[in-house]
Structure 1
Amino acid sequence: MKIVKKAIIPAAGLGTRFLPATKAMPKEMLPIVDRPTIEYIVEEAILSGIEDIIIVTGKGKRAIEDHFDRNFELEQHLKEKGKLDLLEKVNKSSNVNIHYIRQKEPKGLGHAIWCARKFIGNEPFAVLLGDDIVQANVPCTKQLIAQYEQTGSSIIGVQHVSYEETERYGIIDPINNKDRVYRVRKFIEKPKLGSAPSNLAIMGRYVLTPEIFTFLECQEAGAGGEIQLTDAIQKLNEIQQVYAYNFDGKRFDVGEKLGFILTTIEFALHNEELASDVRKMLQRFQNNSSKSTLLEGIH
């Protein structure tokens, strides 16, 4: 069995939920405190043992390539100023073996994965989506790789969501489970509200066998008129058992505005430099809000 050493990070989306900020800046470069979201994803891949990463980009995404490139002028400036801690952080994001390919048309996640097929070849690979940041003692992707090494099959990362949220996600129809590993009857992309067979949602982490490209090659449009990865996974599941794994860790949704704001606040509360001031500010907001409520009641 081949070892998982390659990963795909799709980053070609238009980021319409964050317009107008993403008109000129890739949504993957929006910062959580002081680090762009995509850096958290790349770091997880590296900590999971991934050696080669391919980022699937699109038009206007050059800033991602620049971020993971060397900036000798900046590095020299930081060195001269004695800002060695910042220099270390800057170098950390450039010492990564990253490749790039463009998705020339916005045809969906499945198509973005298909674009990287020549880079992957005949090897198993990981996929990490940038809308989800996962904090865990053992990196999420590493957990999935460990399960792949036990089963020899594709495995999809899932967690529970409320049934009201199931229409936003790919959902699994589980047959049974053992030690957080589920055999799956069916993978369903964004089921209509009230029709989901479970509340176990696909959370943007996958380890897939190369056979998935056979089904992505068909280029069949699914939900939203796009080529959906979940549809291809279901077809793969019909000929080769695909498992789901309820991974351990806290998942942060940074793909929509409220989740992005809440994630930024929580990460700031764990930042040594900012935590104290942020707590004071939040307490001040809470006190002001309570006073406003009291005054509204009086009037």
Structure 2
Amino acid sequence: MHRPIKKAVFPVAGLGTRFLPATKAIPKEMLTVVDRPVIQLAVDEAREAGIEHFIFVTGRNKGVIEDHFDRQFELETTLKLRGKSVELSILDADLPKAGQTSFTRQQEPLGLGHAVLCARNIVGNDPFALLLPDMVMHSQPGCLRQMMDVYEKHGSNIVASEEVTWDTVHRYGILSPGENWGNTFEIDRMVEKPKREEAPSNKIISGRYILQPEIFAEIDQQKPGAGGEIQLTDAMIRLMDRQKFYGMMFDGATYDCGDKIGFLAANVAMALERQEIAGPFVEALKGVLAASSHPEARKLAEKLKN
């Protein structure tokens, strides 16, 4: 019987420089996909998977994230006075129960490994999930729920994975698959951002992890690497000497919302799934394409007419 996963860590201390000036005053994790902040989507995914304790590793100017997961009495009072029962029910459904959230500071930008280490005293000696909120993993059931099913069979450490084109493997941590069972495989080794000719596969580490608490000791011993950052992948590679790691091929769509194109694609994809706005949104998109000066947009508009 494997110890249950009830805690999840969300690293949210990044500066979001790729979205400046929007992120000068607003955390990138609070940018919205349609009407839900990116961080809320990650929490939704974790909650669906059975997570009960949400641990946020924050930084400067991230107080609005803490406010988002708290009650706002003035807003709730106004909604009640105006009879906005639907809006009130949405806010209530998203609100974690008392004591389910913890916030800790990453005081220096020293990398993902360091951010995870900042949660050590809150996680304690329990296995935990790690979700990178920038990576919006869209599926039913959610990515972490899929990983929980793998964890129940194999235990140990689980890493979500998906395949990318070979010409982009140098951007990612890459997994070398060993024995496999359908969508799950044992990981032989990991390579951080290899050259194409040195990559053992095109299977990437895609932003969701289930980790055993022994990872903290490995991170604590990890020396800073490129850019002076402490890399989580390096710590996982060392832990592989003592514990098994499994990869799970994620069944769904991934949108990198730390990137402008991924963020825009996520908004379009999720808007089209919303029954109440999908029809009008499609018509609006047709108008935008038809009015665009971009030749490919005009071509697509003509196709849609026919």
Instruction: Give TM-score, length-normalised by structure 2.
Output: 0.91
Instruction: Tell me whether 99-108 or 126-135 shows the greater mean CA deviation.
Output: 126-135
State whether residues 166 and 201 of structure 1, in contact with CA within 8 Å, keep that contact through their aligned partners in structure 2: yes
Q: Does 1:148 align with 2:151?
A: yes
Note the C-alpha offset of 1:74.
Answer: 0.5
- The residue identity in structure 1 corresponding to 2:109 is P
Question: Over residues 51-102 of structure 1, what are the superposed CA-to-partner deviations in whole Å (9 max), with x where a residue is unaligned?
Answer: 1010000001001000000011111111111111111122223234211000
Q: CA RMSD in A?
A: 1.9
Question: Over residues 257-278 of structure 1, what are the superposed CA-to-partner deviations in whole Å (9 max), with x where a residue is unaligned?
Answer: 1110111111122223322222
- Give the whole-Å Cα distance in 1 for the aligned partners of 2:101 and 2:246: 28
Corresponding residue number in structure 1 for 2:125:
122
Corresponding residue number in structure 2 for 1:215:
218
| SS of residue paired to 2:114 | helix
State whether residues 9 and 55 of structure 2, in contact with CA within 8 Å, keep that contact through their aligned partners in structure 1: yes
Instruction: Tell me whether 268-277 or 230-239 shows the greater mean CA deviation.
Output: 268-277
Q: Does 1:157 align with 2:160?
A: yes
State whether residues 67 and 93 of structure 1, in contact with CA within 8 Å, keep that contact through their aligned partners in structure 2: no
Instruction: Tell me whether 205-214 or 87-96 shows the greater mean CA deviation.
Output: 87-96
Corresponding residue number in structure 1 for 2:60:
59
State whether residues 182 and 243 of structure 1, in contact with CA within 8 Å, keep that contact through their aligned partners in structure 2: yes
Q: Does 1:36 align with 2:37?
A: yes
CA 1:242/1:291 → structure 2, altered by over 3 Å: closer, same or farther?
Answer: closer
Q: Does 1:242 align with 2:245?
A: yes
Note the C-alpha offset of 1:284.
Answer: 2.1
Q: Does 1:259 align with 2:270?
A: no
- Give the whole-Å Cα distance in 2 for the aligned partners of 1:216 and 1:291: 48
- The residue identity in structure 1 corresponding to 2:55 is I
- Give the whole-Å Cα distance in 1 for the aligned partners of 2:289 and 2:71: 43
Percent identity over the alignment is 46
Q: Which runs of 5+ in 2 are unaligned?
A: 299-306
Note the C-alpha offset of 1:289.
Answer: 4.7
Q: How does 1:144-223 map to 2 (within 5 A)?
A: 144-223=147-226
Q: Which runs of 5+ in 1 are unaligned?
A: none
State whether residues 68 and 94 of structure 1, in contact with CA within 8 Å, keep that contact through their aligned partners in structure 2: yes
Corresponding residue number in structure 2 for 1:280:
283
State whether residues 155 and 245 of structure 1, in contact with CA within 8 Å, keep that contact through their aligned partners in structure 2: yes
- The residue identity in structure 2 corresponding to 1:86 is E
State whether residues 190 and 223 of structure 1, in contact with CA within 8 Å, keep that contact through their aligned partners in structure 2: no
State whether residues 222 and 235 of structure 2, in contact with CA within 8 Å, keep that contact through their aligned partners in structure 1: no
Corresponding residue number in structure 2 for 1:83:
84
CA 1:15/1:162 → structure 2, altered by over 3 Å: closer, same or farther?
Answer: same
Note the C-alpha offset of 1:294.
Answer: 12
Q: Does 1:73 align with 2:71?
A: no
Question: Over residues 186-224 of structure 1, what are the superposed CA-to-partner deviations in whole Å (9 max), with x where a residue is unaligned?
Answer: 112222344321111111100001111111011312344
- Give the whole-Å Cα distance in 2 for the aligned partners of 1:214 and 1:197: 27
Corresponding residue number in structure 1 for 2:24:
23
CA 1:286/1:154 → structure 2, altered by over 3 Å: closer, same or farther?
Answer: same
Instruction: Give TM-score, length-normalised by structure 1.
Output: 0.93
State whether residues 289 and 297 of structure 2, in contact with CA within 8 Å, keep that contact through their aligned partners in structure 1: no
- Give the whole-Å Cα distance in 2 for the aligned partners of 1:191 and 1:291: 36
Corresponding residue number in structure 1 for 2:236:
233
CA 1:53/1:291 → structure 2, altered by over 3 Å: closer, same or farther?
Answer: closer
- The residue identity in structure 2 corresponding to 1:30 is L
State whether residues 163 and 194 of structure 1, in contact with CA within 8 Å, keep that contact through their aligned partners in structure 2: no
- The residue identity in structure 1 corresponding to 2:230 is I
Question: Over residues 237-285 of structure 1, what are the superposed CA-to-partner deviations in whole Å (9 max), with x where a residue is unaligned?
Answer: 1221111111222222211011101111111222233222221122223
- Give the whole-Å Cα distance in 2 for the aligned partners of 1:212 and 1:250: 28
Q: Does 1:137 align with 2:144?
A: no
Note the C-alpha offset of 1:152.
Answer: 2.1
